[in-house]
C-alpha cells in the first residue's frame, strides 16, 4: 500500500499530496486502494469522522467510509487535499467550502492559446444529455443547471510556432494556465475549459479526440494550493509541489513557475 505524503498537519487537520491515478474513496464497485484507505491505515482513529457515502445496490445499502474527507479531487488529478482529524474540524471546514471561503488554485496544461490573459467563465453546469459520465453547459445539459464560476489566468503560451498575440485552437499550440474555481461543481474546471474550446491536455473524457501531449499519460491538472482558515483562526496556504510529469512539461516548454505569495 502506498504511503501518504503529508504537506501540513496539526491537531485538527492534515493536508496531503494526492498522487494522480488514485480515487479519493471507494465507489462500492471496485476494491482498488483509495485515499481513504491510506488515511485509515495511518490514522485509524479517523474512521468515524465526517460523513460516509451511502451506496445502494439493489436491496442492499452500503456505507463507504470517507474518514475526514471534506472535498474530493478526480482520480487523475494530483495535488493538495484537506482531511479533517475530528468532527468539529470537519464541520468547520465543510462550512468554509459551502460558504466559498476556501480558495482553490489549480494549474493545468490546455490545448490551444486562450485569446485573453485573464477570463472569468460564468456558465451553469448540468448533466450531459449524451454521456452520463460527463457534465456540460448550455443546451446539451439536462436537469437542473447549477451556477459555476471559474477564474482563468494564462501563465504561458507555447507550441510548434511562435505566439503572435492571437488566440488559437490549432494542433500544436498549448497554454499553461491557472484556474481558480469560485464554486465547487463536479468536473467544473474541465467542463469550463472544454466550453472555452481549450480542454485540458490528455483529458480522455472531455477531449477524447485530441491526442495526449506534452508527455502526459493522465489528465494534466494539478491542485496547486489551498488557502483556508484554521479552527484556531490562523489563515494558511498549503502548496503541493509539481509531480514529475508537470515538472518535465514545465522544463521542456520553458514555462515560468509561479511563486507562492
Active site residues: 74
CA 84 to chain centre: 18
Spell out the alpha helix ranges (H) of 51-131.
87-98
Q: Are 145 and 126 in contact (CB under 8 A)?
A: yes
- DSSP code string of 32-65: ---HHHHHHHH-GGGTTSS-PEEEEETTEEEEEP
Closest to 52 measured CA to CA, from 42, 40, 41? 40
What is the Cα–Cα distance from 21 to 79, expressed in whole angstroms? 11
Helix (H, G, I), strand (E, B) or coil at 100: coil
Amino acid at each position: 500500500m502506498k504511503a501518504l505524503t503529508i504537506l501540513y498537519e496539526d491537531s485538527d487537520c492534515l493536508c496531503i499530496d494526492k498522487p494522480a491515478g488514485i480515487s479519493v474513496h471507494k465507489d462500492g464497485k471496485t476494491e482498488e486502494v483509495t485515499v481513504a484507505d491510506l488515511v485509515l491505515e495511518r490514522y485509524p482513529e479517523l474512521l468515524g469522522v465526517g460523513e460516509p457515502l451511502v451506496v445502494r445496490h439493489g436491496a442492499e445499502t452500503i456505507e463507504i467510509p470517507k474518514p475526514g474527507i471534506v472535498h474530493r479531487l478526480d482520480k487523475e488529478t494530483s495535488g493538495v487535499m484537506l482531511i479533517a482529524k475530528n468532527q468539529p474540524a470537519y464541520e468547520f471546514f465543510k462550512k468554509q467550502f459551502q460558504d466559498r471561503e476556501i480558495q482553490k488554485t489549480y494549474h493545468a496544461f490546455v490545448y490551444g492559446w486562450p485569446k485573453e490573459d485573464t477570463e472569468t467563465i460564468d456558465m451553469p453546469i448540468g448533466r450531459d444529455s449524451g454521456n452520463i459520465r460527463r457534465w456540460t453547459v448550455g443546451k446539451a445539459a439536462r436537469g437542473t443547471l447549477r451556477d459555476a464560476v471559474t477564474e482563468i489566468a494564462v501563465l504561458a503560451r507555447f507550441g510548434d510556432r511562435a505566439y503572435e498575440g492571437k488566440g488559437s485552437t490549432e494542433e500544436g499550440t498549448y497554454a499553461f494556465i491557472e484556474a481558480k474555481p469560485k464554486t465547487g461543481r463536479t468536473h467544473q474546471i474541465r467542463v469550463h475549459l472544454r466550453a472555452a474550446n481549450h480542454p485540458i491536455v490528455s483529458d480522455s473524457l472531455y477531449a477524447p479526440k485530441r491526442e495526449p501531449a506534452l508527455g502526459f499519460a493522465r489528465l494534466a491538472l494539478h491542485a496547486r494550493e489551498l488557502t483556508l482558515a484554521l479552527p484556531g483562526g490562523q489563515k494558511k496556504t498549503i502548496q503541493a509541489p509539481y509531480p514529475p510529469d508537470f515538472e518535465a512539461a514545465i522544463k521542456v516548454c520553458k514555462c515560468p513557475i509561479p511563486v507562492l505569495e
